[in-house]
Chains A and B, each alone.
Chain A
Amino acid sequence: MDFTPLTSEDRRLILDRIGVASFDALVEQIAPRVPRADLRLPAPLTEPELLQAASALAAGNITTNNRISFLGAGSYEHFIPSVVRYITSRGEFLTAYTPYQPEASQGTLQAMYEYQSLLCDLTGMDVANASLYDGASALAEACVLALRETERGKLVFAQGVHPEYRQTVETYLRGTQVTLEKIPQKEGISDLTRAESAVDSQTAAVIVQMPNAFGCLEPVERLGALARRHGALFIVVVNPISLGILQAPGSYGADIVVGEGQPLGTDLQFGGPYLGLFACREKYLRKIPGRIVGMTRDTHGRRGFVLTLQTREQHIRRAKATSNICTNEAMMALAAAVYLSALGAEGFQEMARQNVQKSHYCFDRIVKLPGIKPLFSAPFFNEFAVQLPVDPEQVNQRLLKTGFLGGFPLKRWDPELKNGWLLCVTETRSKEQMDRFVAAVGEAI
């Protein structure tokens, strides 16, 4: 199967007009004596054959369709309203280009402006960009901003930041002299005494995740105050769903808010493409990475939208750009805008509430099972960690057979957490599913 409309008649006319005898002759002119490729690839497939091959690869996988999932750890199953898929499958959005020519892109531009506005409303920040790649790289960008802004050399990370996020920051900063220091946890949240000694006048930023990677709610007010006292930026990594009921980071002194926007209407997709959220205070406006859409007027006074503050970006500033990002995650940002509007103020709040109610219902019953204890005492949103009496990987194996996708074995993040098991309960879990799960866990341990 291919998609080129070139017929032999077309080819003949074109070669004639170009003035070459054959395509090969043209290539010889373009790239004389360059060895040609001779690709060995599987034979081409027609559409039905392709669908068959792809379906075969898709069929055997464990999904949230064929298992009842209690797995989170950075990627979350939520109800996705059908309108989200409807709008994001529209070719007018899906096959449009980056909106450099605003007159032909008002749909995209207004949608991105709305997304930026929604993110500011959610996070309590002054300005948001139109997306970065994912939560981890968004955090890396925030760290780079803080380092440049303060001209200091240390980043202080709460232990509860998702390990893959911290690893990403480490990769971005390897080759610099920047040091990363950790605030150890106590009972699942940052130990404030240890935090006091970690943060000093060399700290560019204090980074905390809220809820943290273990599901726990961190003492964000105190950590923010600590950062401020030392002139460091306060970077908060959020799960946007939690902002349905939790305080907006803007209200407790965050300078930059980043996070993973996947829960806002994007499928799990084995890890991507996801949505890097980035919002911050106005004072950093000209330092932030990524596309930003602004409102303006046309020559007739009509309201319209444009990409703005482009002099921050690589296509203008090149080596002096605030970042190198060009392609972003616009479709995921669109999904988020549709999602948040479909739920609306009340729906979004209700959704966050249900996450809390259901996760606590499940927690109460799980910890009553013999041999299972909560790992931490801190309050949580929709994820909690328990200590199992046996290896969680084994428990997960057994649960798979009875129709469940179990929680995340925490030893993968920290061997010291041995039989720690991170369970996630979103609004998608019914009481009946949770009861059956608890029973199945009881059997499996």
Chain B
Amino acid sequence: MITQSSSRGAERREISKGEISRPEGLEMTGKISSKLPHSPGRLLEPLLSELSRPGRHGFTLPALDVSARPLEQLVPAAFLRREAAPMPQVSERDLVKHFMRLAHLNFSGETNFYPLGSCTMKYNPKVNEEIAGLPGFARVHPYTPEEGTQGILRLLYELEQLFKEILGMDAVTLQPAAGAHGELTALLMARAYHQAQGRLRRKVVVPDSAHGTNPASAALCGFEVVEVKSNERGRASLKALASAIDEDVAVFMMTNPNTLGLFEQEVREIAELVHKKGGLMYLDGANMNAILGLFRPGDLGFDMVHVNIHKTFSIPHGSGGPGGGPVGVKASLKPFLPSPIVVEQDGAYRLSSSGPRSIGRVRAFFGNTGALVRAYAYIRALGAEGLKRVSEGAILNANYLKALLKGKYPIPVDEPCMHEFVASAKELKATCGVKAMDIAKRLLDYGFYAPTICFPLIVEEALMIEPSETESREVVEAFADALVAILGEAREIPQRVRGAPHRMPVTRLDEVQAAREPNLRWTHSS
């Protein structure tokens, strides 16, 4: 049922739902900042396939300097393509123009404020890009003989030590390519740990406020997932856990502070409970920004933790990736670490298996080294004091923003938060028909990216807001102003909010049609 767009202009399609009339005039309240180009046409930018013309070309290779033999002599004809793969044929100028025009359609962390809860969209230091680009890091083949990679191995080894210290853990693996990958790795280690004790434990317990990757990772690993309801204060309920945690539970996965931005004050009691039943405590470190340099997961009773270097440790989000999900573990789990690890002896570094009980590999080669180098640079730049200032700034900004919104947007659990807090648009939905999604879209018109919406699932019409420590007070205030303005609009002119965005390159897109009749690739008119 996949339809494909033809490469010569797209046919007009009927809009099935959500048709909204063009708003009269464009008077907006509040500060609007939109640098995006006005584009009245039926498409913003042609596809590469639409720009392609036979005979055009970009990059040219040096001419072949060995005598060319007939290809069929070297590779049997049966293996060869009949026709060239239909890659686009564009000049370099058109290529650059195309991708630059696409770039200009994006909001980005460096130009816009992204108050995305649990994403920690902090500033990405440019010096990290320079360092990651050094040929001594960027142009090293992973199978280079070890005497030729001492610098990079040393960096990775030092990074492991830095994470151990920051997290209060005894060992670290840098292999996982993302947070979810880290979760999977840790769960595989947990299973191996229990198996080594002769115990087959089939369950993983998560709070109902958990990020979707937690149950998904557990399921991918073959565990049965048990969700436990949070209490009225939005915390993991010690009482509910007392009945849920039994000797069939391998791991309790927790986020702290949780996805409401609230510190789990009973974390040590919970750890005691889990450990008493022989289970392991796992910290989803997505919210690490709140506790950097302030608390250490290892001191709170956690046996395993993953961090997201594309959140807490400043590497750019890259429109979706790459990231990195290093995992720290306590000594009892060290034998199960994925291989290889970096070991040091007499000042020399090498890669080695983590031991006979290693869970093996979760990917080829060592890890997302290019990304890890950036995290290393960040930690070295900040030092202990700098890391403390991160959590301090994050917590202050979040509580400040929360105070500015007090009385305006209901905050279901209104307690001092850490680096983020959750507001709800439930009342607005009931009174004006304006939902969290509408507020998110209207914020785009004000030049702000939206907060995380509709998560965590335990809050209706949730707006999860995380300002991060790299935003100035003025930006935080401007964002609060925008939210308050939108509140006013919702009450006075709700259709302006429900029909937002009005000042972006596109208006709301028909996601229903996109899912019913997926169009996931271009085709070529023959």
Contacts and interface: CB of A to CB of B under 8 A. Distances in A.
A137 B181 contact: yes
Contacts of A61: 136-137, 140, 144, 148-152
A166 to B, nearest CB: 9
Given A2-B390, A273-B177, A117 B49 contact: yes
B360 A174 contact: yes
Contact of B444 (A104, A272, A303): A104
A320 B78 CA distance: 42
B453 to A, nearest CB: 9
Which of A29, A127, A133, A272 counts the most B-chain CB atoms under 10 A from its CB? A272
Contacts of B19: 299
Interface in B362-400: 362-371, 373, 377, 379-390, 392-393, 395-397, 399-400
Interface stretch (A152-160, A179-187, A195-203, A323-331): A323-331
Interface string B59-71: 1111011101101
Nearest to B204: A319
Contacts of A306: 509, 511, 514
B274 interface: no
B184 interface: yes
Given A60-B136, A121-B87, A136 B320 contact: no
Interface in B492-526: 501, 504-511, 513-515, 518-522, 524
B87 A345 contact: yes
Main secondary structure of the interface of B (DSSP, over half): loop
B410 interface: no
Contact of B137 (A270, A326, A379, A408): A270
Interface in B1-47: 1-2, 5, 10, 12-13, 15, 18-20, 22, 39, 41-45, 47
Contacts of B75: 217, 245-246, 356, 379, 381
Nearest to A339: B59
Given A44-B385, A75-B365, A4 B390 contact: yes
Contacts of A190: none
Given A1-B382, A301-B15, A340 B87 contact: yes
B383 A41 contact: yes
Contact of A39 (B111, B135, B293, B440): B293
Contact of A431 (B1, B66, B149): B66
Which of A71, A89, A274, A358 counts the most B-chain CB atoms under 10 A from its CB? A274
A127 B177 CA distance: 24
A149 to B, nearest CB: 15
Interface stretch (A227-235, A286-294, A367-375): A286-294
B299 interface: yes
B216 A317 contact: yes
A217 B71 CA distance: 14
Given A126-B2, A165-B364, A267-B138, A83 B92 contact: yes
A127 B141 CA distance: 31
A408 B100 CA distance: 40
B271 interface: no
Interface string B81-115: 10011111110100110111011111111111010
A358 B317 CA distance: 38
A164 B365 contact: yes
Contacts of A345: 84-89
A389 interface: no
Interface string A278-311: 0000100100000111111111111111101101
B473 interface: yes
B76 A379 contact: yes
B58 A344 contact: yes
Contacts of A81: 58-59, 92
A419 B518 CA distance: 51
Interface stretch (B237-245, B275-283, B464-472): B464-472
Contact of B142 (A97, A121, A127, A271): A271
A377 B264 CA distance: 63
A357 B108 contact: no
Interface stretch (B161-169, B228-236, B327-335, B483-491): B161-169
Interface residues of A, number: 205
Interface in A333-380: 334, 337-338, 340-351, 353-354, 356-358, 360-361, 379
Contact of A294 (B76, B107, B520): B520
B64 A270 contact: no
B441 interface: yes
Contacts of A73: 143
Which of A86, A121, A248, A292 counts the most B-chain CB atoms under 10 A from its CB? A121
B380 A97 contact: no
A353 B69 CA distance: 10
B165 A272 contact: no
Contacts of A415: none
A21 interface: no
Interface string A124-135: 001110110111
Contacts of A317: 212, 216
Nearest to B437: A101
B41 to A, nearest CB: 7
Nearest to B13: A297
A87 B276 CA distance: 54
Contacts of B88: 118, 340-341, 344-345
Contact of B396 (A6, A60, A116, A293): A6
Interface in A178-222: 217, 221
Contact of A4 (B68, B220, B361, B393): B393
Given A30-B418, A44-B386, A267-B139, A297 B361 contact: no
A144 interface: yes
A387 interface: no
A110 B47 CA distance: 8
Contacts of B62: 430
Interface in A1-43: 1-6, 10-11, 13-15, 17-20, 23, 26-27, 29-32, 34-37, 39-43
B313 interface: no
Given A26-B395, A61-B137, A133 B363 contact: yes
Interface in B158-210: 162, 165-166, 168, 177-181, 183-184, 188, 191-192
Nearest to A305: B509
A71 to B, nearest CB: 5
Contact of A106 (B49, B105, B129): B105
17 contacts: A6-B396, A39-B293, A46-B381, A61-B150, A81-B92, A87-B96, A97-B116, A104-B504, A171-B188, A171-B362, A246-B81, A326-B213, A327-B177, A331-B319, A347-B87, A357-B69, A360-B69
Given A299-B18, A327-B178, A353-B64, 17 more contacts: A6-B397, A41-B166, A59-B151, A106-B105, A107-B104, A114-B522, A171-B359, A172-B220, A217-B76, A272-B371, A273-B324, A295-B5, A296-B510, A301-B12, A321-B219, A405-B141, A431-B65
